[in-house]
Amino acid sequence: MIVGEKQVKSIIVKSDLPACEFSVNPYVGCEHACKYCYACFMKRFTGHDETWGDFVDVKFWEPVKNPQKYCGKELFIGSVTDPYQPAEEKYGRTRALLEELRGSGAKISIATKSDLILRDLELIKTFPNARVSWSVNTLDENFKNDMDNGVSIERRLRAMKIFHDAGVRTTCFISPIFPAITDVRAVIEKAKERCNLIWLENLNLRGTFKPSVMKYISNNYPEFMPLYRSIYVCGDNTFWEMLDSDLRGFAKEQGLEYKVNDDGFNRPFDAPPVIVNFFYHSKIKKSAQKNDKSF
């Protein structure tokens, strides 16, 4: 892993993401090296020649001036990097930011694949209506290991439960859903008692990682290649429409509410989790690419 240090003018950047007003990324690059990571577009701006997942730049900034100006504002921590990737254990840049914002009244939403975030549970609890999401797109640890270098699914689910039991709003982000591989029903059943929200997002193949993912499917799941070609070469959405219909019925069986393109945030903490379908929603990724200039 190639680790560098980078001085930035500001760590908090105005954002057009639908779920927040500001985005925060304490690192450039990510050690989790997810094979499907859309954030690899960052290399166009950072000048890195290394393979995505082989480098991480640690950001340093001047202390946040007047943190109270973010009172009531939503800050999304981790829009194009994992703020709790392994480098965080050594450098503590995410924790440093949280300490700077403590008591400011800022609202925070954190996305991660890690259980290192347990270190900061008590600090995160000091923020009003804090939300933490974990990406869980399989219960198969072998497939997980093929796709990313993050901690095990078991550890993610355990961290989710600990946060949820501590009164922090949690989200199970079933993303990206790999057609015919991700058992969405099984993940929902596993997560539904330990989260407030279940977000669904389909696998979108674009840019430099499309050939590598298609090659992986061809080598490891050749029986699914006709399906993947129909979706990712021919643009056929039939699979997603059928899965949408199936999950609507499944949600009803489970007594869970099912929505499309609705963040689901405005729910009582003790209500059953709501399932939100983002199959037809690409705004988050487009906005992240256009507006996240904190590198």
pLDDT band with cut points at 50, 70 and 90 for residue 288: very low
Quick check: 27 and 12 in contact, CB under 8 A? no
Q: Give the pair of three-digit tokens for residue 191.
A: 């997560």
Half-sphere exposure of 37 (CA within 13 A, CB side): 27
For the segment 161-167, the average pLDDT, to the nearest whole number, is 98
Quick check: 7 and 60 in contact, CB under 8 A? yes
26 pLDDT more than 50: yes
Domain residue spans of the chain: 2-291
pLDDT band with cut points at 50, 70 and 90 for residue 294: very low
Q: What pLDDT shows up at residue 42?
A: 67
Q: Please write the tens of the pLDDT for every residue from 175-216.
A: 999 999 999 999 999 999 999 999 999 998 877 789 999 999
**Closest C-alpha to 54, from 149, 128, 123, 122:** 149
**Closest C-alpha to 24, from 67, 68, 70, 77:** 77
Write down the mean pLDDT value for the chain: 90
Q: What pLDDT shows up at residue 44?
A: 65
Q: Identity (one letter) of the amino acid at 216? A: Y
Q: Please write the tens of the pLDDT for every residue from 72-131.
A: 999 999 988 999 999 999 999 999 999 999 999 999 999 999 999 999 999 999 999 899
Distance between CA atoms of residues 133 and 156, nearest Å: 10
CATH class of the structural domain 2-291: alpha beta
Half-sphere exposure of 2 (CA within 13 A, CB side): 11
pLDDT band with cut points at 50, 70 and 90 for residue 290: very low
Helices (H), 151-272: 153-165, 184-191, 209-220, 225-232, 238-254
